[in-house]
Amino acid sequence: MANVLITGGAGFLGSHLCDRFIAEGDNVICLDNLITGSLDNIAHLFGHPRFQFIQMDVTTFIYVPQDIHYVLHFASPASPIDYLQLPIQTLKVGSLGTHKALGLAKAKNARFLIASTSEVYGDPLIHPQLEEYWGNVNPIGYRGVYDEAKRFAEALTMAYHRYHNVDTRIIRIFNTYGPRMRLNDGRAIPAFISQALTNEPLTVFGNGSQTRSVCYVDDEIEGIYRLLMSNINDPINIGNPDEISIYDLAKEIIKLTGSKSEIINAALPEDDPKVRQPNIDKARKYLGWEPKISREEGLIKTINFYKNKINNK
C-alpha cells in the first residue's frame, strides 16, 4: 500500500488516476484548486477510507504531513479555452507548481511524474512525433503559455533528477478523451458530441484537414501507470497513433450519435497544429504498452456518458 499524491486530482485525467490508485489498494491524496477541476469528478470517492481531498493552490505551497511514495503533477489548465482565459495561472502551475511538487517529492524521497504534453512539439515539422524531436513552438503566441509552461516543467524535472537525484518520470500525453471531460472545455470531441446530441451545427476550425490522434482515457491511464512503475527517466509519448482529420472526426461523431447536425467552418486559431500523431515505439518497447480501445468503442462510451449528463440536467 503506497501513499499517492495527485495534483489536479479533480480534473479529467487526475480523477481517473485517483480511481486507478484506489483500485490498486493505495491511499490517495487529491489536491486541486478547482479552477478547471470539479468535485463532481471525485464525488464518488468522498467517504472512502483511503481517499483524501484537499483544496489547495499548488503554486503557493504544498504541505502534507504523511509519508508520500509517489507524486503525480497533473495540475494545469489543459484545453485551449482554459489556458487562453487563464494564461498567468497556466504559466504559474507549470513553473511554480512544478517547483513545489518536485520539492515535495525531494523532501519525501518520493517518485515524481510530470504530466507533459504533445504540445511541447508545437506545430511539428516532423511527422509522426518522436521523443527526440525538440519541437516547433511560438513562445510568444497565444498557445505559448501552455506549450512553454510544459517545456519548462520538463526542464525543471530533469534538473531535479540530475542535481537532486529525484526519481522522475515525464509523460507526453497526446489528445485524450472520455468521460468527465467538460462539455464546454473547448476540445474537439466534447464540443462535437455536445453539438451533435443537441442537433446543433458542428463547428470545425479551418477546413478540418488538420489531424489529431485521440486516445481513450482508460488506455491513457494504463500507460501513465506503467510509466510510473517503470525505470524510464526520459520522456515517453503515450497516445494512440490512429490519426484522423478533424473533419472526418466530426462526421464520425454525427454518424455515431445519429444526429441531424451539419458541419460549419470557423477561422483556424493561431498556431493550431496541422498534424498530431505520436510515435509510440518506446512505449511499446519499454512499457509493453499500446492502446487497446478502438476509436469507435471509445466514442460510443463517451457519447453515452454525455447523454446521461444532458438528460440529467
* CA–CA gap between residue 293 and residue 240 (Å, rounded): 9
Instruction: Quote the cell numbers at residue 89.
Output: 495561472
Instruction: Quote the cell numbers at residue 77.
Output: 489548465
Q: Are strands 215-216 and 111-117 parallel, antiparallel or unpaired?
A: unpaired
133: left (phi over 0), alpha (psi -120 to 50) or beta: beta
* CA–CA gap between residue 157 and residue 152 (Å, rounded): 8
* Whether 146 is catalytic: yes
- Catalytic position from the list 70, 121, 146, 216: 146
Backbone angles phi and psi of 258, in degrees to 5: 65, 30
Contact 157, 167 (CB under 8 A): no
DSSP lists the bridge partners of residue 70 as: 4, 111
* CA–CA gap between residue 313 and residue 214 (Å, rounded): 28
Alpha-carbon separation of residue 151 from 3, 73, 271 (angstroms)? 28, 14, 16
Q: Which residues are known catalytic residues?
A: 146
